[in-house]
Amino acid sequence: MTLRLGDIAPDFEQDSSIGPLKFHEWAGNSWVVLFSHPADFTPVCTTELGLTAKLKPEFDKRNVKAIALSVDGAESHLQWIKDIEDTQKTVVGFPIVADADKKVAALYDMIHPNQSETVTVRSLFVIDPNKKVRLIITYPLTTGRNFDEVLRVIDALQLTDGYTVATPGNWRDGDDVIIPLSIKDEEVIKQKYPKGYTAARPYLRVTPQPNK
């Protein structure tokens, strides 16, 4: 199955490090970061899960829940969590799905045969409270993910959901934003963007972030 942006994230029921888990029910009304890793007790994954654990305060501020996945079993996850917490000096406060039968990996197209026939690549999905897939990033097995970028995109998604704006390249929370080309009427612009705007070109109109 190939997921695309805007698709409903497939629901599933699977074992996990916190016991049996029904994904949509567990997600509730939160945003979700679902990310797969190749295997337990591997070095890159250990650093990634440790970093995710340390980012919990940032996720909480954004109403985000994190959930990891590999094709190892729940008992393996529980043993590995001890290593993560010891070596990364943190507490793993999120579940790790035990996808031993690769059911979820198939639903989310997490196994790429040209990378590996047996383990999941580093896929990451941002899913909104309506269960829609809003971001898909896939990294190769040997490259650790940039979770600062994940937070940046969540900030952009939440901003653009609340306001009629787009974000420029390398945008971070607090930076200026872009008025979409779909907004043409000057009176509407004055109402929507009371801080005014500058235009380097007619199609490139920049305005201060509206909620700052």
**185: DSSP letter:** -
Helix H or strand E encompassing 67: strand 64-70
Q: What is the rounded distance in angstroms from the CA atom of residue 10 to the CA atom of residue 17?
A: 20
Q: What is the CA radius of gyration of the chain?
A: 19
Residue 45: active-site member: yes
As beta bridge partners, residue 8 has: 132
Q: What is the rounded distance in angstroms from the CA atom of residue 39 to the CA atom of residue 48?
A: 12
Q: Exactly one of 32, 45, 53, 64 is catalytic; which is it?
A: 45
* Whether 108 contacts 125, CB under 8 Å: yes
* Whether 100 contacts 14, CB under 8 Å: no
* Whether 77 contacts 16, CB under 8 Å: yes
**8: DSSP letter:** B
The tokens describing 133, both together, are 């897939």
Residues known to be catalytic: 45
